[in-house]
A and B are shown apart, each in its own frame.
Chain A
């Protein structure tokens, strides 16, 4: 079945450094969504990318969708301690309703 792979699994950075997490699918995705989960919290929707090559920005966060629509990335510029958490990508899976398949996430820790 379809798989969504996410790397790295963990990332430790010094506050102020940049951070990037990558998401790769075994099949072409119609779209991809990104979520953030703070420690002890629930996943929170960040953004959805639909178009090939699409780039979207939210303040210090930049999201990209690959030209082939099989990969995506999230880049955070100048990390802050508030960025701590696990970042998940999710692409469309199988089934009649096309449900989301989540990557295993990248856990980001930021050292002040």
Chain B
């Protein structure tokens, strides 16, 4: 498996609190992605990065922000968590643009907002 580490793996928090999820890679891949996975919806792209400090919005970006200050780290922040953001969050990486290269996924973070 690709060297991708997501932290934390599980988190329970309360509505209105800030939450930051971390994705760390050791593959030196340029592209990094954050997805959420919900029953009946499959995988939906939240934000992605195509280089250090280069990020863009995905399909479901409202309520989320990201930062990438180093090639190896991609952070996803929920500024004020809501119950609708309860989900499993996956980070993925690819060596080239995602439409042309395989994406490799981390093990996921299960986030519960009470």
Q: Name A's B-contacting residues (CB within 8 A).
A: 1, 6, 30-31, 33, 41-45, 48, 88, 90, 92-93, 95-105
Q: Are A42 and B105 within 8 A (Cβ)?
A: yes
How many residues of chain B get a CB closer than 8 Å to chain A's CBs? 27
Chain A positions within 8 Å of B74 at CB level = none
Q: How far is the CB of A35 from chain B (nearest CB, A)?
A: 8
24 A–B contacts from the bound complex (CB under 8 Å): A1-B59, A42-B105, A42-B107, A43-B43, A43-B90, A43-B103, A45-B103, A45-B104, A90-B43, A93-B99, A95-B58, A96-B56, A97-B48, A97-B56, A97-B97, A97-B98, A97-B99, A98-B99, A98-B100, A99-B48, A99-B98, A100-B45, A102-B35, A104-B40
Per-residue CB contact flags for chain B residues 77-114 toward chain A (1 = under 8 Å, else 0) read 00000000000001010000111101111111000000
Residues of chain B touching chain A, judged by Cβ–Cβ distance below 8 Å, are 31, 33, 35, 40-45, 48, 50, 56, 58-59, 90, 92, 97-100, 102-108
* Contact, CB under 8 Å: A30 / B99: yes
Interfacial chain B residues near A44, Cβ < 8 Å: 105
Q: Cβ of B35: which chain A residues have Cβ within 8 Å of it? A: 102
A30 to B102, CA, bound (A): 14
Partner of A102, one of B43, B56, B97, B108: B43
- For B102, list chain A residues within 8 Å (CB): 33, 45, 48
